[in-house]
Amino acid sequence: MFATGIENSIPTINNGRTRVDQMEASDHYNRWREDFDCVEEIGIQYLRFGPPLHRTFLGPGKYDWEFSDLTLEDLRRREITPIIDLCHFGVPDWIGDFQNPDFSQQFANYAAAFADRYPWIQLYTPVNEMFICAVFSAKYGWWNEQLRSDRGFVTALKHLVKGNVLAMTEILKRRPDAIFIQSESSEYFHADSPAAIGPAEMLNSRRFLSLDLNYGRRVDSEMYEYLLDNGMTREEYHFFLHNRLKQHCILGNDYYRTNEHRVHADGRTEAAGEVFGYSEITRQYHNRYRLPIMHTETNLREGPTGQEAVQWLWKEWANVLRLRNVGIPTVGFTWYSLTDQVDWDTALREQNGNVNPLGLYDLDRNIRNVGRAYKQLIKDWRDVLPASSVCLAVPVVPPGQACWPPRVGGEVTDRGLALGAQQAANPEAA
């Protein structure tokens, strides 16, 4: 699955007074048809995309589907398969932030309503980068609740992951062959000195927390104590152990040059650059979870030579091929995002209007060198590496072939759902 994405981050800053909306910054709300034209121009058939949560989820049981209806129907017409990104770093004002315990159930209700309205959609990323969202919002103090504490981090994390689990459960009730592609940051922390080994080991354990909880895996003993010391109850922990949905999941992981860190003895960290690289770090995640892999985000700035991002694309693709060659089931690759982004040089903490040349296209929708290179890569490799994979028990159903839920005698029935699952598993027979 060769993919790209429409950046839809929506965190708040300035103690919740300012909303940072990347769809607005890129003018996607006005130019979405042009953006979908760009997707088609490159030959991409999978798009990480989702309606802005704060504009769509207006209150309990209240939704504005206008933008979603327009854009998703257009994607369906174009035979571009969306990977639906429902929550990307922020919540509507009426929910507040990720410290609110009501977030998890309210988000699950939203996911249920979305799946009811768009039954033809099969691929989802319910909550994007749960770990990063919790760290930036409640540990670093950058976004949303802007806390700087372990307790704040654990609170945000448990609400985010619980929301993700409940959302998957609700979607599966409506689409039993739904596939969930996590998009989670893949991190590694390198000890700078012998005195930094302890802090680095702690951080290397903490990086797995969101996925451990999401997949119902028992956390390490040190992390168990950390969670309970910072507000998670035994009952909350057992909720995650008893909801094992990993059989419906692809482990999507993101890798940037900033994902590896140098740890000092006092616990301070700084970017280490690419040391191990994507393939080695992904091996660590795959060894832990044993799920199919998808590279769900990467990019690099276009620099003075115009070839920096092109070389990074080649390097990341070589890492993906390396994983496949050593037997790790790998089903997709994503350059993120379609267009340039705005103010990610300050991690969306400031609104400076700085355009970051990270996209396949610039904000005037002119293709960049990396866009041309990605177009050629897809052309060269698409027939060699088909989107379907033997590691998937349930095949991906293109939008034009989706008929869900099937009706028997004009009504949706249990028998109809069973037939639909059978048809999804064997569309040719249908």
Q: pLDDT tens-digit profile of 215-249? A: 999 999 999 999 999 999 999 999 999 998 999 99
Res. 425: pLDDT tops 60 = no
3-state secondary structure of 181: strand
Q: What is the DSSP string of 140-175?
A: S--STT---SHHHHHHHHHHHHHHHHHHHHHHHHH-
Over residues 109-119, mean pLDDT: 98
> Pairing between strand 123-127 and 179-181?
parallel
Q: Order across the sheet with 188-191: list the strands.
A: 188-191, 260-263, 269-271
386: DSSP letter: -
Over residues 11-16, mean pLDDT: 97
203 contacts 189 by C-beta, under 8 angstroms: yes
Question: 21-25 long-range contacts, Cβ below 8 Å, gap at least 24?
Answer: 21/52, 21/54, 22/341, 22/342, 22/348, 23/52, 25/341, 25/342, 25/343
Share of the chain above pLDDT 90, in %: 88
Question: Using 50, 70 and 90 to split pLDDT, how confident is the model at 422?
Answer: very low
Over residues 135-163, mean pLDDT: 98
Q: pLDDT tens-digit profile of 302-347? A: 999 999 999 999 999 999 999 999 999 999 999 999 999 999 999 9
Over residues 182-195, mean pLDDT: 97
Amino acid at 323: L
What does the pLDDT read at residue 326?
93
Residues 27 and 32: their CA atoms lie apart, in Å, by 8
Res. 415: pLDDT tops 50 = no
Question: Using omega within 30 degrees of 0 as the cis cutoff, is the peptide bond preceding 186 cis?
Answer: no
What does the pLDDT read at residue 404?
62
Model confidence, pTM: 0.92
Q: Of 24-33, 171-180, 415-424, where does mean pLDDT reach its minimum?
A: 415-424
Over residues 73-92, mean pLDDT: 98
What does the pLDDT read at residue 386?
60
**What is the distance of C-alpha 65 from the center of its chain?**
22
What does the pLDDT read at residue 121?
98
What does the pLDDT read at residue 229?
98
Question: Using 50, 70 and 90 to split pLDDT, how confident is the model at 406?
Answer: low
Residues 271 and 263: their CA atoms lie apart, in Å, by 9
What does the pLDDT read at residue 405?
63
Over residues 381-410, mean pLDDT: 65
Strand runs labelled E in 60-115: 62-63, 81-87
Res. 410: pLDDT tops 50 = no
Q: What angle do CA 340, 343, 348 make, to 5 degrees?
A: 125
Q: Between helices 66-78 and 28-42, what is the axis angle to 10°?
A: 10
333 contacts 319 by C-beta, under 8 angstroms: no
